[in-house]
Structure 1
């Protein structure tokens, strides 16, 4: 496959001399084009079996034990939504498999699912590429089920194209790959491959033309390296939560539209991660890890490539000095795709989802399955942010019964610090657990009373 582009270039070059060699029935261009056709067909045969049909879209297996990737808006649009089992098929296989969601990244538009297999059973899969190695102009191959043309069959559609740009910032698609393979409704969640048969990204959106949802030659794929950063969190989170959050550096505000060779730090709030790390107003962020930062949008693009709680190495210019330090994206961002610049989850809860609120929102989180009896406004954040947790002010009855927390022994003024092994700092740390945990589930709860930490098992209650 590595010889494919060289062969293509050679065939185009020698094609200019075709008129001088018309008497030769088997010319060099013909030979090279035949080779390209053969190698492309071989590539399709290699990657095609890993394709997954799911709902109204596409997916791809990434392991022999059945883990697969698709878009969040595809899985959420499946018959029973993000939290439910669904039915999938694999390319060339009429069998219907049961699939379950394992982890969801709504902001990044990714769901990790798992096909339920018999003991010892294996399925075809494709490996994730190192997407940092792709270059503009590389050939790529995309697989999907546009407009559901397979008609319920098992044969997806193959298109061949080019990587036309890298590191595009499109809101939740914060660091995406731009491709010109045909990306239409039904292609969402399907893979794009390099010429070695490795997944460079998961296709998810395109630029629409005059409001029409069809291919315009500008499609976007979530890069493999970003997905790889999220995989461990997608596979398992403390407390049984299924939603994986992106994050921001708390207390750090960068200036949009500032004329600077990087991202200009507009302000730093005291007693935050940004202040702890050493940021100062007027700093110019020029690098994060190995990524060059040329403006504020690039900062937001890179910060979204790792899950909340990840550490980044920052390089900043401060006057005539260059300084390096590390900071975490500790502040959970909103889960949905509303807006280009990510807001914190708390800002999104306060301000709502703007124009998308009254529409079908494919990134909307499902309601909680269970309750712990935490009253609205019945808590305040512990001022000791290193410890975290909520100071309990009052409890709420659930279905006319005593709050599960209160029934387990918690009292007003106790500090709730951990649920199911998950540290509590923000409201979504609780709500993301209750989205996934059924009523009647025992959860180990840790709390602080009079300076002493204690723990108790709490049984979640059914939501009325």
Structure 2
């Protein structure tokens, strides 16, 4: 029997009406938040920024300031100020500035929130100046979305927040905000396709946690650059251990900061500052979040027990290993040592003239053209940092004997 269609249509219409009402209510709820947030937004150099304290301290991306030190900026409430660079991190793409205010003057601001408290699915708002739209109507643009992923590595952004909140060129340096009006990230990168500079659904923000760690360094930088830190003297590897993948310390350079901190070959790295380390990628991401001079606590497992080793991070320092290499001849792209300087890391490691480099840290050397040879040559001569521990496999020819393969341990210093 055919049932009347009218009730079905009514139910569908009612469901649509309720859904539309819910959406309208949801959008309406954002209005007071946008009103609250807008005055602390900063138009700067074609990009974005945000004021994070009443005395005019503000954050943006390093790529927004483009090497400049002073700026004319305008807040979302229409007021204009001079801003001066305090410090910058070119590698991590973060910069801090301060607005020049009169004595006792304060400005609207948004506090830095707790990005560690975020969960995938949390709602967020991005405030920015996409494609320079704010130049037209003198007002920033607001977009809404959710947290798509956490603890992500995107190029030089480590431990960053991934969001589907729409961000585009011009949003760089602007805030990623929670529903309670706190800044949990600084938007800086987007995923693109086909070479088009427009968002394809994913944006990447530097976490508020990272910003908080770097702020004291920026305040003391005098307008200069603050470098990232590392633990020199360690070589790592991933291995199966106890049915799971572990990050192990493969080697520790004698006399290095790592040796002084108490690290030993064979230590399993469990975590850094209570954050777990399941892979080498995660290890690099966590270390990459900190500036030089920062002290981390590294949890390791050794001989069945667990230890916590403090380590102060130092800035990378490039150094030469003291070896030069023969130029390619015709199609011969073998990497052969042409000479070794006395008293250098290469000489100490036992590298000799005529040795052919086969592997470095387990990576086989297989070159396809002269450009690749030139790139490798530059890396071998000046591409290592002080304290790097290198496992180098060479093929050595001895007159009257078959060539032999040797494993050498080279410490850059």
TM-score, structure 1 as length reference? 0.63
2:108 maps to 124
1:267-312 CA deviation, whole Å, 9 max, x = no partner? 1111112111221122221111121111111111111222211111
- Decide which of 167, 191, 205 is 1:207's aligned counterpart: 191
In 2: Cα distance, 1:23 partner to 1:234 partner: 56
In 2: Cα distance, 1:215 partner to 1:23 partner: 35
- Decide which of 41, 44, 60 is 2:31's aligned counterpart: 41
Residue 74 of structure 2 corresponds to residue 89 of structure 1: yes
2:48 maps to 58
Q: For the Cα contact (< 8 Å) 2:86–2:223, is it kept in 1?
A: no
Q: For the Cα contact (< 8 Å) 2:50–2:59, is it kept in 1?
A: yes
1:165 maps to 149
Residue 129 of structure 2 corresponds to residue 145 of structure 1: yes
Shift of 1:324: 2.1
In 1: Cα distance, 2:132 partner to 2:14 partner: 46
Shift of 1:258: 5.0
Q: For the Cα contact (< 8 Å) 1:53–1:154, is it kept in 2?
A: no
Q: For the Cα contact (< 8 Å) 1:252–1:265, is it kept in 2?
A: yes
Shift of 1:18: 9.5
1:352-371 matches, within 5 Å, as none
- Decide which of 293, 296, 318 is 1:346's aligned counterpart: 318
Q: Which runs of 5+ in 1 are unaligned?
A: 1-16, 333-343, 351-425, 427-464
User: In structure 2, do the counterparts of structure 1 residues 149 and 123 end up closer, same or farther at CA, with 3 Å as the change threshold?
Assistant: same
1:417-436 matches, within 5 Å, as none
Q: For the Cα contact (< 8 Å) 2:88–2:223, is it kept in 1?
A: no
1:303-314 matches, within 5 Å, as 303-314=287-298
Residue 11 of structure 2 corresponds to residue 20 of structure 1: yes
In 1: Cα distance, 2:211 partner to 2:103 partner: 27
In 2: Cα distance, 1:215 partner to 1:145 partner: 14
1:348-402 CA deviation, whole Å, 9 max, x = no partner? 9x9xxxxxxxxxxxxxxxxxxxxxxxxxxxxxxxxxxxxxxxxxxxxxxxxxxxx
1:103-118 matches, within 5 Å, as 103-118=87-102
User: In structure 2, do the counterparts of structure 1 residues 74 and 198 end up closer, same or farther at CA, with 3 Å as the change threshold?
Assistant: same
1:159-186 CA deviation, whole Å, 9 max, x = no partner? 1011000001224211100011122111
User: In structure 2, do the counterparts of structure 1 residues 19 and 280 end up closer, same or farther at CA, with 3 Å as the change threshold?
Assistant: farther
Secondary structure in structure 2 of the residue aligned to 1:107: coil
Q: For the Cα contact (< 8 Å) 1:264–1:296, is it kept in 2?
A: no
2:229 maps to 247
Q: For the Cα contact (< 8 Å) 1:261–1:286, is it kept in 2?
A: no
Residue 304 of structure 2 corresponds to residue 320 of structure 1: yes
Q: For the Cα contact (< 8 Å) 1:92–1:154, is it kept in 2?
A: no
Secondary structure in structure 2 of the residue aligned to 1:149: helix
Shift of 1:196: 0.7
- Decide which of 185, 191, 195 is 2:169's aligned counterpart: 185
1:391-402 matches, within 5 Å, as none
1:129-166 CA deviation, whole Å, 9 max, x = no partner? 10000000111000111111223542111110110000
Secondary structure in structure 1 of the residue aligned to 2:266: coil
Shift of 1:43: 1.1
1:70 maps to 60
In 2: Cα distance, 1:75 partner to 1:241 partner: 12
Shift of 1:22: 4.3
Shift of 1:263: 2.3
In 1: Cα distance, 2:317 partner to 2:22 partner: 55
User: In structure 2, do the counterparts of structure 1 residues 157 and 113 end up closer, same or farther at CA, with 3 Å as the change threshold?
Assistant: same
Secondary structure in structure 2 of the residue aligned to 1:182: coil
Q: Which runs of 5+ in 2 are unaligned?
A: 1-7, 323-385, 387-413
In 1: Cα distance, 2:9 partner to 2:114 partner: 39
Pick the structure with greater CA Rg: 2
Secondary structure in structure 2 of the residue aligned to 1:20: helix
1:420 maps to none
- Decide which of 262, 272, 278 is 2:256's aligned counterpart: 272
1:335-359 CA deviation, whole Å, 9 max, x = no partner? xxxxxxxxx34259x9xxxxxxxxx
